Amino acid sequence: MLQRLSREYLADTWTYVTDLHGVGQYAADAYAIFCTGKWDEVEPDDHMLNKYWDFLRSIKHML
């Protein structure tokens, strides 16, 4: 699974991270938060991602 994901990622033929083999909602949310900087466009279900997401929201309001 990891080899296929890697090949697809490197082929650069994907548009959305969920187009890649084995990528589910958690990985898509994490990718949006940590890789694309589009954390404010997702609302994760995972409790640890939610903690970081809440932190980002709190500092955004302070700026």
**Catalytic residues, which ones?**
46
Q: How many helices (H) and strands (E) does the chain have?
A: 3, 0
Residue 53 CB neighbour total at 10 angstroms? 19
What is the DSSP secondary structure assignment for residue 16, as one 8-state letter?
Answer: S
